[in-house]
Each structure stands twice: as structure tokens, then as C-alpha cells.
Chains A and B, each alone.
Chain A
Amino acid sequence: MSVLFQLALTFGMLSVLAVGGGTAVLPEMQTVLAEQFNIDHTAFVHIYSIGQLAPGPNMMMVLVFGFQLAGLLGAGVVLLAFFIPSSVLCLSMGRLWQKIGERPWRRTVQNALEPISIGLMCSGVYAVAKAAVVGPLTIGLAVATFAVILLTRVNPVFMILGAGGFGALLMHFFGIR
């Protein structure tokens, strides 16, 4: 019971703080899950990465944290807590906006939030990299994925799977880290 309540509170909070998209709350999510729910940084990054292979919105992997801590009920609680608060806010503000039309201060709010959310995404890259990039091989895989995604039109899912397969072969059979 208290785990469900704590999950609802945590993800409800993250929901309304997710300025500029879900990726902005990654570093906070990693910290809170480690401190309050004992999900270590490696498990966090594994679950985050599996989530990037899924179709649809890129933060659906939050369900897995709920599932790990409290089964299907936990996943349901996390789903509602992470999506309902921001959705209610967005829907009510959206309707208000439709009525009053574009105002200069909406642009102000968006302009102010954009660089903040980019800063938070940089923190997210740093947080994920600290747990995922641990040696020459993982550095190589991360840099190669980064470069190929930026320079070509190949689907990122293939790059991530490729990095996984290629990395696993080198690590498993040749002991390279």
C-alpha cells in the first residue's frame, strides 16, 4: 500500500515537472528511484534503454519501474500518476488558449522553458552516460551510435540493437570491456 502511494506521489510529481518533454525528468527520476526505491543506476539505465527499443512515446518504460516494485498494480499506478497530472494541466490550458488565442507571454513561457529543458536533457545524458559508458568499448559504441544517427537517416532502433549485439559479442567472447 505504502509503495503504491509512494509511487503515485513520485511519478505524479515528475509528471508536472516534465517541462519540454519526458526526457527532462530523467536525471531526477534516476536519483529518486535510487534513493527511495533502491533501483540502482545500472538497472535504471538498462530499463531506460530497453524502453528506447519500444514504439510510441519514449517514456513508456516508467511502467517497468512500477512493475518491478509492485507488480501490474504498480505499473498501473505509475501509468496514471505519470500521465494524468500533466494531461489534465495540458487539456485545461489548451482549451483556455483556444479561447483567448495566441498571446506574447505564451512565446515567453516557451522560450524560457526551451533552454531549461535542454539543460536538463544534458544532465540526462550525463546521468545515463555515467552508468552506461564505463570503458573503451562502451565509449566507442556510444560515440559511434551518436555519429551514425546524426549523419545518416538510419533508424535509431537498429543502431541500438547493433550496439547491443556487436558489444555483447566483443564482451562475451573476447572479454573486451
Chain B
Amino acid sequence: MIPPTIWQIFFEFLLIGAVSFGGGIVAYERILLIEKRRWLSPDSFMATLAISQTMPGLNSVNLALLAGDQIRGVKGAFAATIGLMLPGGAFVLLAGVAYSAGGQHPFINVLLAGIAAGATGLLASVTYTIGKRHFVQMKSLFMIVSTFVLMSVFKLSLVWVLLLMVPIGLYLYRPGQQS
């Protein structure tokens, strides 16, 4: 197979960045990488996805970065990431300028109040979907509740929450333990 050009990588990820309204970007990336273009094998896609989820940062951005790197090295990584972020970045900047200019207008304000309520519902549903498998396991539930209490009730800073919870998590899920 002829390796794709940097521009091909850029445009394919730009397309995902432009059409992925409402989330689900990882699914778009899966289709691009293993079905539409076959730039990665299903196995290496799964391995790459696992690393993206383990490392800090947005999963969709990490996945684009690592896939781009595997296809065309650091240049490919840049092309994929910039393509993915460009449309959304332009969108939020335009929206941000409009918000700075008109956010105080009474009608805009009630519109934003409704949008914010909707966005809260969306965030709750995403959290529920990702978490439902974990809410019913004692070990996970303990980790979830402890993290929430440290962050939202004791109001510790995120650094402290992680310094406390990560070692406990690593111990509870050490190799050889049932997850």
C-alpha cells in the first residue's frame, strides 16, 4: 500500500472534526482508520485506543495523534490532530466572540440558560453511559464515590485528589487482581 500523504491525513481528520456534532468522535475515527482507509489493522487500532484512554488528554485527540504518528510519523501526528481540532476551534471562537458581544442581552441570556440545562443533561448521560458498568461493582463504586467526595465535598484540588486516589487504584487493580 502507498502510504497516504500528509494532506490526505489532514483532510480526513478535518472532515471528522467538521461533521462530528454531538460527540462520538472515536467511532468516526474507527471507521476512517480501519474501514474507509485501512490505515490501521483492527488489532493495532484497539491497542492504540487503549493507550489513548490510558494517557492524560482527550481520547479522540490522543487517538488522532497516535494514529497519525503510526501512519506518517510526527508530521502525520500533527496533521491528524490539527485537522481534527480546526473546525471545532473556529466554531467556538466565533461563538465566543458572539457571546462576549451579546451574552448580556436578556433573550440571549434565557436562551443560554436553556442550553446550559440541556448541556447538563448531556454531560449526565455521558457520565451514566461510561459509568454504568462501574456503578454496580464494589471496588469501582468505592473509587468513584471517594473521588467525588474528595473533589466536590472536601473541595481538594485535582492534584491532591489524584495523588491520593491513583495509588489506591493501582493497588486495588494490581496485576493478578480481579477487576
Cβ contacts under 8 Å, B111 to chain A: 164-165, 167-168
| Interface presence of A73 (CB below 8 A) | no
Q: Mark B86-121, 1 if CB is under 8 A from A, else 0.
A: 111101110111011001001100111111111111
Known: A15-B56, A90-B51, A90-B55. A133 touches B120 (CB 8 A): yes
Question: At the interface, yes or no: A8 with Cβ under 8 Å from chain B?
Answer: no
Known: A138-B116, A142-B118, A145-B120. 11 other contacts (CB 8 A): A54-B88, A68-B100, A98-B47, A112-B172, A115-B169, A119-B143, A126-B152, A132-B117, A146-B121, A146-B128, A157-B22
Please list the residues of chain B having a beta carbon within 8 angstroms of any beta carbon in chain A: 16-23, 25, 47-48, 50-62, 65-66, 69-70, 74, 77, 81, 84-89, 91-93, 95-97, 99-100, 103, 106-107, 110-131, 134, 139-141, 143-148, 151-152, 155, 157-159, 161-162, 165-166, 169-170, 172-176, 179
Binding site for B on A (CB under 8 A): 13-23, 25, 27-28, 31, 43, 45-61, 63-64, 67-68, 75, 79, 83, 86-87, 89-91, 93-95, 97-98, 102, 104-116, 118-129, 131-134, 137-139, 141-147, 149-150, 155-168, 171-172
